[in-house]
Structure formats: structure tokens, C-alpha cells
Amino acid sequence: MKVVKFGGSSLASGEQIRKVFDIVMADSERKIVVVSAPGKRYADDIKVTDLLIQCAEAFLEDKASKELEVELVLQRYQIITDELSLTSDIVNQIKRNLLAALNRDQTDRAQYIEAVKACGEDGLAQLVAAYFSFRGAKAHYVNPREAGLIVTSEPGNAQVLPESFAHLNRLKERPGIIIFPGFFGYSQSGEVFTFSRSGSDITGSILANAIQADLYENFTDVDAVYSVNPNFVEEPKEIKELTYREMRELSYAGFTVFHDEALIPAFRAGIPVQVKNTNNPQAPGTRIVSTRENANGPVVGIASDNGFCSLYMSKYLMNREVGFGRKVLNILEDLKITYEHVPSGIDDMSVVLRQDQLNPEVEQEILTRLKQELAVDEVKIEYDLALLMVVGEGMRRNVGTTARASKALADAEVNIEMINQGSSEVSMMFGVKVIEEKRAVKALYEEFFVRSEYITLR
């Protein structure tokens, strides 16, 4: 039994949904189909989720354009319906549900937007189910509330509650193909709450865990997960197999195939994940597993992300001061600031932060408190950093990986601002200036994927 999830680009038009139908019907083990909201049809298009957010904000502000915003959303569904030769009954149902969400109580702004956002996936799941039935398949739409997908009351960051898995397990007893909307669930009080962006991946992972699926297939618009960002390197190598830990590290550091939390439910149940291409379903794709043979060298992938800053502080004999690190993090906690990494030495310490959490007032308060409360000798914030992540389970058993990476960056004349290796030894992080990000990634790729292959061939 398989759970199959299709992303927004796979569902953006009637032509794409026909491909989805053919893929699902080609394998009788594909029991549950999780759908996203319609994505972009072309580069400058707007995702339906973004249209819905604009729509919700227009209603909250009572803009004159609010009716037009509704029509823009409904047009997307009407076009798909026409392309699939379905009747307008399904669009009328989508319209009723959307208007019900838009005309609900607006007292809780965040909750209001949550309910409207969820209409994207919910409406398309109903449309896809109607199309499957139109084509003669035994398929039906299932709402997350009916199925028992219960989540925490955290707008945009809902977490599945443990009791959900027993409820959702009963889905495997239902006949036919289940079409299930991704991205949202219901709180214990019956309100809609969404997962983080790309949350349909999370829904698919939860359902795979709940029914103890043999495989979770995630269909997107690429043939496989690549070893590096294709925008940085032409024709990068495909990754045939990687572990959950490697995928999570790569996702955190900028890979866009999965949100870094998406696979946790599947991982906990030991369910393998197969990434495949809706537009080329014959391609083998990438398999994500608990463990794998490390036959492809120490590094499986290189990722990068930017928008970071480093809070650097130094103090003589810092290493002998009990509680110093805790006090630094307490100051950040007081200001509701999260941190990413904490590389340190005996007399200095850096805290890597997402810089969009700071503004001039917050920055000044951090600097003032560190000087007054911890009496640091020096403190400064360095902005516009990119973090490069070199990832691979094989690094734990391979000597010299750090030296190779450092030399590759030096040869490319990239200055390393910081280095940090995770305690799991699955990843190694380098901090560089944003303007050097692309050059640094290309240098690391050349070292671990091009030069290594050349040496092997010799």
C-alpha cells in the first residue's frame, strides 16, 4: 500500500491532472493520493495559495477589490474544470466553501487567514476526486476532519497530535482510492490550522506513518534530488539514494524538494520515500531510506542558504566562566530570537542567527545587554552571510574531508568566516559572505563530484 503526494506544479492545469490520473491508475497499490493547491503554470504565474492569502487580506481590510480577488481564485478552478470536461457543479461547491470561509468571523485574524488558505488544497482535492470518478475510477474525497487529522492550534506551524495516527489508520479499510487535501488539519476545537509552507509533504508523511505504508511516493517536477542547486551548477549529478538524516540536513540548508520537517513522521515509522517526476514518471527518482551503503564517497550533496548573520563576542577566560553560554542564549530567548549554530573557542563565541529577526532596536538591545550583563571584551554583528552545508553519512569514516573542502574554498579565493561540524558527523557547515556563495558552492561541487570522479577514472 502506497501514499502518493503530488505538488502544486503537478496539479496546476487539467493536462497535469490527467498525468496524475494515469500515474495513480498505473499502480493498484497507490491507495491514498495527497494533493496540494494548484501551483504555477508558468514562471510569472501566481500560486493559488498566494491568491487566497491576498483574498483573505482584502476581506480583512474590506478593500473594494475583494470580489475581484475571489474571482481570480475561482477562475483557476474553472479553467481546470473546463480543461477536464467536468461540469460546473464542482466549481460551485468550491465557491460555496470559499465564501463560507471568507464570510466567517474575523476577530482572530490569524485563524481567519488559516481557514481561507486551506481552501486551496481542499477545493482541488474535491475537483481531483470528481475527475477520477468521471474517468471511472472508484475514488472519493476525504476531509481531514472526517478522517481525524487533529493538530495543535499554531497558525502556519501546526503539529500533528499523537491520537491522529489511530484515527487515520482506519483509512486503509476504506474501499477505492482516497483523495486527501494536504497542508492542514483541525484543532481539537474544530478550527483549521495549517502546517508550515510545503505542508502537503507533511500531510503525506503523516498518512504514510498512520497506515504503515510500504512506500511514500512524492511526485514533483524534477527527475530526482540533485547533489547541488541546478541554478549554481549545470547538469548536476542526481542522487539515487540518501538517508533521512542526509535529506533533513540538505533541506534545512536550502534544498527545496522537501521542507526539513516534512519526512519526520515517515522516518519514525521507517517508511522509505521515493521522489519522482510527474512529467517523467519512468525516471527512477531518488529513494530516501533509514540506512544505505556508502559507496559514492564521503559527500552525497552540497546545499547553501543565505540571510544569516553572526553575533560574535570575545572575552578573556570565557571558557572558565560557568553559565556564560546559557546567559547569552537567555538574552536571545528574552527577545524571542532563535539561533541556528553556536561555534565557539576558549575565549570567543559566535551565534548564527536568521538576520530577518533583527532590526536596529533589537540589535542595539542585544549589544547593550551583552556588554552590561556579561562584560564581554568585544561584541559585533556581521550581516549577509551564507551557510554552505556539505552532507554525507560517509564523512564519519573518511579522513580528510574537512581539509579537502577548506582547500577547495581557498583555491577559489573564498574566505571562510566560520566552520562548524554537527555532532552527528553527517554534515559540515561553512559560513561565507553572500557575494561568494555561488563561487563557493561550485568549488565544493568540483572537489567532491567532478575531481573525485576524475581520480577514480584514472
Cα–Cα dist 190/263, whole Å:
26
State the cell numbers at 410. 581557498
Cα–Cα dist 66/59, whole Å:
6
Amino acid identity, residue 55? Answer: C
Q: What number of CA atoms fall less than 13 Å from residue 112's CA on the CB side?
A: 17
Q: Is 194 annotated as a binding residue?
A: no
Residues 23 and 29: beta-carbon distance below 8 Å: no
Q: Is 301 annotated as a binding residue?
A: no
Amino acid identity, residue 88? Answer: S
Bridge partners (DSSP) listed for residue 301? 391
Q: Is 8 annotated as a binding residue?
A: yes
Q: Is 226 annotated as a binding residue?
A: yes
Q: Is 393 annotated as a binding residue?
A: no
Q: Is 368 annotated as a binding residue?
A: no
Q: Is 95 annotated as a binding residue?
A: no
Contacts (Cβ under 8 Å, ≥6 apart) of 374: 313, 315, 324, 327, 328
Q: What number of CA atoms fall less than 13 Å from residue 414's CA on the CB side?
A: 27
Contacts (Cβ under 8 Å, ≥6 apart) of 320: none
Cα–Cα dist 20/17, whole Å:
5
State the cell numbers at 43. 514562471
What length does the chain have?
A: 458
Q: Is 243 annotated as a binding residue?
A: no
State the cell numbers at 456. 577514480
Q: Is 195 annotated as a binding residue?
A: no
Residue numbers belonging to the annotated binding site for ATP: 5-8, 220-221, 226
The annotated binding site for substrate is made up of 49, 121
Residues in binding site: 5-8, 49, 121, 220-221, 226
